[in-house]
Amino acid sequence: MLPALDALIALQDLDTRAEAARRRLADAPVKVAALDATLAGATQALDKAKAALAESQAARRELEREASAAEQKVSKYKDQLMQAKDNKQFHALQHEIATFSAEQQRVEELEIGRMLEIDERAAVVKAAEATLAAEKTRVAAEKRALEADAATASAELATLLAGRGEVAKTIDARLLSTYETVAKQRKGTGIARVVDGLCEACRVRLRPHLYNQVRAGDQVIQCESCVRILYWIAPPKTDDAPAEPTPAS
């Protein structure tokens, strides 16, 4: 094979790895944002649970006030009962006592309902607090891992780019330019292997004449379909798999 093709294969490998490193670097802030969103969601859930609990507690305090007010009235009318001047007043006071006793009982029942609700909502707050704490720990760990990975990717990228510079120096300027132009047009791949007569990148079958030229490896051939530079590597010979047959010219 032409040394230039070997150099291009090495270049393609470096470029592919560099692209992967770039993608890792670009993905890191996106992943961090997703982690922050998860945390914000857990914080919001806790805030909501706390607000619901506070609402139940305020409602219960209000009921307590109402019950106590009713109780005071009952007690006041009971005192007045002793000093009733006549039967009419006595009955009127008894009526008031019955009314406010009923009111006190009604409010106390509502209070029991609120107390049960407070227990339930307090449990929700506790669970939301536990979830938030667990999420904080998980997010912190994942962020540390992402930071470490980004640092590794950054270092890898620097090494790959330095290596690329060295390899690129050994390639003829026109050939390098062809590779780079094709790579830009073809999702970063400027060179493709030919396997079983097919361009491995675009899966189009080479004409036999072209296939022979690629196999010879003594000139630069581009795929007629995807224009990638083509190369061929002899498959390893095994006992039960015959060598790739040479196509007719």
Sites of contact with Zn ion (CB under 5 A): 199, 201-202, 223, 225-226
Encoding tokens for residue 67? 């019950």
**Could you write out the DSSP letters of every residue in 226-244?**
T--EEE--PPPP-SSSPPP
Nearer to Zn ion, 103 or 200 (CB): 200
Residue type, 155: A
* Short-list 93, 73, 96, 71, CA closest to 84: 93
Q: Please, what is the Cα angle at 156 between 150 and 162, to 5 degrees?
A: 140
Q: Which is nearer to Zn ion, 168 or 223 (CB)?
A: 223
With a CB cutoff of 8 Å and minimum separation 6, the contacts of 47 are none
Q: Using CA atoms, how far apart are residues 129 and 66, in angstroms rounded to an integer? A: 33
Shortest Å distance, C-beta 236 to Zn ion: 23
Least distance CB 183 / Zn ion (angstroms)? 13
- Min dist CB 233 to Zn ion, Å, is 16
Shortest spacing between CB 206 and Zn ion, in angstroms:
8
Q: Which is nearer to Zn ion, 77 or 179 (CB)?
A: 179
C-beta of 81 vs 226, nearer to Zn ion: 226
